[in-house]
Amino acid sequence: MTFKLFGKLVYLLTKERMEYRGDFLLAVIAQIINYTGDYIIIWLFLRKFDTLAGWTWPEIALLYSLGLFTYALGASFSFVQMRELESQVKNGTFDSILIKPVNPYLYLVCRGFNLGYLAHVAISGSVLLWALFKLNLSLSWVEVVYLILCIIGGAMIQAGFMSVIGAVSFVWVKTNFLFTLFFKFKEFVSYPLPVFGTFIQVLLTFVIPFAFINFYPAAFLLTKETALLSSWTMWIVPIVGPLCYFLGYRIWMSSVNRYQGAGG
């Protein structure tokens, strides 16, 4: 799989989606309205209590936007692709991917690249920029690079975990219920981690490292105290994403090598 081939696949997908421009635009608008509602709910909640675990509305808007923005980037290459593996394995249609002369994982994630996440990027990116402006953060070039690396890392954490769920399809077949668990856990990082008890904080830091998606990057940029990690460990945060994605990829490739077909 080369960048040229990837670009060709994305071009064909874009051309395919643009055949139904009205449907695509309505879907984008619907997603923007949906997530705008989420922001309004959080804003109304903060209007009542002023702060949440010491975090103000613009700070939580930054936190939530980082989570949504990184999800959009990661899920565009993994969510639909891994979710559909269950039916592909069950019906035997996944076999057609294996006969292609390309890496099956890369072909799957590139061929299923989802343009629909443009809505997520638009709303979360806009609020993210607003929050940075509202908080009057004067980021140095080092902090800007750090933020970019954390965004990439957050996307890779989520794509990595969804890849693991997809890998389980080759063993259990029925795995879509795991996506429900994934989103349930991800809901925790929509809010500051100190809101939750010690068990949840440890779980989301050292077992299921979703706190590295947005909480720790935001806490570092906002100079917030973190109970479980010292300030110097913030520089380790961008490394967690590539590590999670690499492990997810290796697990997926190992599982597909054991795949024996629909009648397996």
Q: What is the pLDDT of residue 30?
A: 82
Segment 175-221, tens digit of pLDDT:
889 999 999 999 999 999 999 999 999 999 999 999 999 999 999 99
Q: What is the pLDDT of residue 1?
A: 54
Does residue 111 belong to any structural domain of this protein?
yes
Write down the H helix ranges in the chain: 3-17, 21-49, 57-75, 79-83, 85-91, 95-98, 104-111, 118-134, 141-172, 176-188, 198-202, 215-221, 237-256
The more confident residue out of 245 and 99 is 245
Nearest to 56 by CA among 214, 203, 191, 249: 191
Does residue 68 belong to any structural domain of this protein?
yes
Check: CB of residue 66 under 8 Å from CB of residue 154: yes
Segment 229-238, tens digit of pLDDT:
888 888 899 9
For the record, the structure tokens of 96 come out as: 């057609």
Q: 74: domain range?
A: 3-256
Model confidence at 9, in pLDDT bands (50, 70, 90)?
Answer: confident
Model confidence at 102, in pLDDT bands (50, 70, 90)?
Answer: confident
Segment 58-95, tens digit of pLDDT:
999 999 999 999 999 999 999 999 999 999 998 889 99
Does residue 263 belong to any structural domain of this protein?
no
pTM: 0.91
- Number of structural domains (the chain) is 1
Alpha-carbon span 50 to 53, nearest angstrom:
10
Does residue 261 belong to any structural domain of this protein?
no
Does residue 264 belong to any structural domain of this protein?
no
At 55 the three-state DSSP class reads strand
**pLDDT over 90, % of the chain:** 58
Model confidence at 46, in pLDDT bands (50, 70, 90)?
Answer: confident
Span 29-56, average pLDDT: 87
Q: What is the pLDDT of residue 3?
A: 66
Model confidence at 171, in pLDDT bands (50, 70, 90)?
Answer: confident
Q: Which residues contact 76 (CB under 8 A, 6 or more apart)?
A: 113, 114, 115, 117
DSSP 221-261: HTT---SSS-GGGGGGHHHHHHHHHHHHHHHHHHHHTT---
Q: Which residues contact 18 (CB under 8 A, 6 or more apart)?
A: 24
Least confident among 13-17, 136-140, 238-242, 243-247: 13-17
Model confidence at 22, in pLDDT bands (50, 70, 90)?
Answer: confident
